C-alpha cells in the first residue's frame, strides 16, 4: 500500500502553506504596542509610585508612606512585573523585525535585552521583600522598628542597584539596536543614532555610579543625559514600529 503525503492528497490550490508567523511587519506592531505599554506602565510604577513614596534620606518617612499606601505600592509592583514580561516579548519581536538586516547582530541585540530583563526580574525580588516586611512589621516588632525600617531601605537600595546593573546590558542593547536601525534602510538614520546615544548614556551612568563617590552631586545632570535621548529615541522607535508600513508584512 502506497503512503501518500498531505501535499499529494490535497487538490491543487488548497495545499498547506509554510508561511511563518509573525512576519516582520506583524512583529513590528507587536513590539510597537509593547513599547507603548511599557512607557505607560513605567510612568505609573517608577515615577508615580516608587518616586512618589520613597523619600531620599528619610527612612521613617519612606516606610510610613509605603505602609499607608500599601495597595498603591502593590499595584506598582504589578506594573513592574508587567514591564518585566513585556520586555521579553519586545526582545523577541525586535529580533524578528531586524533579523533580515543582520541575523547574528539582531540575535545578540535581543540577548542583551533578555539579560537586562533577567536582572530586572531579580531586582523585583527586593520589591516583594519590601511588601513582606511592611505586612509583617507587627510580627517583627520584637526586633524593633529601626531594624525593620533598615531592612526595608536595604531592599529598596538593592532593587535600585540590581536594576542599575541591568541597565548596563540595556545600554548595549540600545547601541546595537541603533546600529541595526541605521543599516536597515527602512528607518531614519537619526533615530538609530539617537538610540545609540541613549545606550551610551546608560553605560556612562552605570559607570559613574560605580566610580564617582560624589555621584549625588551630579545626579540631576546624569538623569537629563540619560532621559532625554532615551525617551525621544525609544518613543520614536515605538511609534515607528507601530505605525510604519515600510516593514514587510
pLDDT in tens, 187-244: 889 999 999 999 999 999 999 999 988 988 888 898 899 999 999 999 999 999 998 7
Q: Tell me, what's the pLDDT at 194? A: 96
Write phi, then psi, for 243 (nearest 5 degrees): -110, -15
C-alpha separations of 51 from 4, 56, 66, 152 in Å: 66, 9, 11, 15
Query: The domain containing residue 127 runs over which residues?
Result: 23-243
Is 120 within the bounds of a domain? yes
- Helical packing angle, 24-42 and 219-243, nearest 10°: 140
Is 59 within the bounds of a domain? yes
Map the chain to HEC letters.
Answer: CCCCCHHHHCCCCCCCCCCCCCCHHHHHHHHHHHHHHHHHHHHHHHHHHHHHHCCCCCHHHHHHHHHHCHHHHHHHHHHHHHHHHHHHHHHHHHHHHHCCCCHHHHHHHHHHHHHHHHHHHHHHHHHHHHHHHHHCCCCCHHHCHHHHHHHHHHHHHHHHHHHHHHHHHHHHHHHHHHHHHHHHCCCCHHHHHHHHHHHHHHHHHHHHHHHCCCHHHHHHHHHHHHHHHHHHHHHHHHHHHHHCCCCCC
Question: In this predicted model, what pLDDT tens digit does every residue of 18-62 receive, in sequence order?
Answer: 457 788 889 999 999 999 999 999 999 999 999 999 988 888 888
Among candidates 74, 75, 80, which has minimal Cα distance to 162? 80
What is the C-alpha separation between 198 and 85, in angstroms, rounded? 22
Question: In this predicted model, what pLDDT tens digit does every residue of 54-102 receive, in sequence order?
Answer: 988 888 888 889 988 999 999 999 999 999 999 999 999 999 999 999 9
Domain count, the chain: 1
**Over 50: is that where the pLDDT of 2 sits?**
no
- Which pLDDT band holds residue 133 (cuts at 50, 70, 90)? confident
Is 12 within the bounds of a domain? no
Is 108 within the bounds of a domain? yes
- Which pLDDT band holds residue 143 (cuts at 50, 70, 90)? low
- Which pLDDT band holds residue 1 (cuts at 50, 70, 90)? very low
Burial of 199 by CB count in 10 Å (0-12 exposed, 13-18 middle, 19+ buried)? buried
**Over 50: is that where the pLDDT of 122 sits?**
yes
Is 233 within the bounds of a domain? yes
Q: Tell me, what's the pLDDT at 134? A: 85
Q: Tell me, what's the pLDDT at 246? A: 64
Is 8 within the bounds of a domain? no
Q: How large is the average pLDDT for residues 99-128? A: 96
Is 175 within the bounds of a domain? yes
For the four alpha carbons of 177, 237, 89 and 42, in that order, the dihedral sign comes to: positive
For the four alpha carbons of 96, 97, 101 and 106, in that order, the dihedral sign comes to: negative
Q: Mean pLDDT score of the chain, rounded to an integer?
A: 87
Is 6 within the bounds of a domain? no
Amino acid at each position: 500500500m502506497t503512503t501518500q503525503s498531505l501535499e499529494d492528497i490535497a487538490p491543487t490550490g488548497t495545499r498547506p502553506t509554510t508561511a511563518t508567523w509573525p512576519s516582520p511587519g506583524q512583529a513590528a506592531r507587536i513590539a510597537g504596542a509593547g513599547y507603548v505599554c511599557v512607557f505607560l506602565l513605567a510612568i505609573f510604577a517608577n515615577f508615580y509610585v516608587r518616586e512618589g513614596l520613597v523619600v531620599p534620606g528619610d527612612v521613617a518617612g519612606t516606610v510610613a508612606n509605603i505602609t499607608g499606601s500599601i495597595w498603591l505600592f502593590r499595584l506598582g509592583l504589578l506594573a513592574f512585573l508587567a514591564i518585566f514580561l513585556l520586555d521579553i516579548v519586545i526582545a523577541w519581536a525586535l529580533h524578528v523585525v531586524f533579523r533580515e538586516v543582520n541575523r547574528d547582530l539582531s540575535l545578540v541585540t535581543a540577548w542583551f535585552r533578555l539579560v537586562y530583563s533577567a536582572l530586572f526580574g531579580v531586582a523585583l525580588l527586593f520589591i516583594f521583600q519590601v511588601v513582606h516586611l511592611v505586612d509583617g512589621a507587627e510580627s517583627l516588632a520584637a526586633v524593633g522598628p529601626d531594624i525593620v525600617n533598615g531592612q526595608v531601605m536595604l531592599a529598596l537600595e538593592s532593587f535600585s542597584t540590581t536594576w542599575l546593573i541591568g541597565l548596563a546590558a540595556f545600554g548595549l542593547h540600545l547601541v546595537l539596536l541603533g546600529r541595526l536601525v541605521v543599516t536597515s534602510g527602512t528607518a531614519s538614520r537619526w533615530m538609530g543614532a539617537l538610540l545609540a546615544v541613549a545606550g551610551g548614556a546608560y553605560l556612562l551612568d552605570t559607570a559613574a555610579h560605580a566610580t564617582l563617590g560624589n555621584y549625588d552631586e551630579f545626579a540631576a545632570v546624569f538623569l537629563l543625559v540619560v532621559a532625554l535621548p532615551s525617551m525621544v529615541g525609544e518613543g520614536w522607535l515605538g511609534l515607528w514600529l507601530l505605525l510604519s508600513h515600510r516593514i514587510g508584512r
